[in-house]
Amino acid sequence: MTTYDLTATPLREVNTALHAPDLLDGGADITITNPFGAHNVAVGLNAPVKVTVEGHVGYYAAGMNQQAEVVVNGNAGTGVAENMMSGTVVVKGNASQSAGATAHGGLLVVEGDAAARCGISMKGVDIVVGGNVGHSSAFMAQAGRVVVRGDAGDGLGDSIYETRIYVRGTVASLGADCVAKEMGPEHLEELAGLLKAAGFTEDDPADYTRYGSARTLYHFHVDNTGAY
């Protein structure tokens, strides 16, 4: 195991070390201590390594992640796992706004709450939130799955494309073109797999409601002018 203390080693040097060619072989286990809310921690990783951050992080932690497993033992600021392509990012605390924004793949787990715009414009990532999500979550979400074990704020799934949303709690309001949908056997199986992958095996998938696109905004229609 390799440990970097951000009070002794500048973050730029740490991130440079995390991009070293020899990490592509995989198997490295790296710990970052004393982040004290630093921004851009462990960004742009592209190797099958594990990085554990002991403490709170600021903006864009684990952004653009590929292959790596990143665990944040604390809270995360805006845009955690933004534009992630693959791998796993786990936040043991809460996440600020825009968690998983524009992410294309991989799995993001927030064990606490996620603030506004969680999963905004997501393009294939799976996001599992242990608590609540704020307003405008999954706004313009194109592909992937979102699981919310708690409640969702106003405007959930506004202008959604083909992302599937599962919520166990209540939804303050749905955004334009987002509707509740039938929970078929395939959806229960899919949700069970997502909950298992995130470590929430105690949940009953039948307690969740599925939401998705009504597909009325795919093409312009004069009767929908007010919704555009």
Domain with 210, as residue range(s), is 2-227
Provide the domain count of the chain: 1
**Mean pLDDT for the stretch of residues 140-154:** 98
- Whichever domain contains 219, its CATH number is 2.160.20.60
What does each C-alpha distance from 202 to 130, 149, 197, 199, 207 come to in angstroms? Answer: 12, 11, 12, 9, 11
What pLDDT, in 10s, does the model give residues 181-226? Answer: 999 999 999 999 999 999 999 999 999 999 999 998 777 677 766 7
What pLDDT, in 10s, does the model give residues 9-25? Answer: 999 999 999 999 988 88
Q: How far apart are the two ends of the chain, measured CA to CA in Å?
A: 52
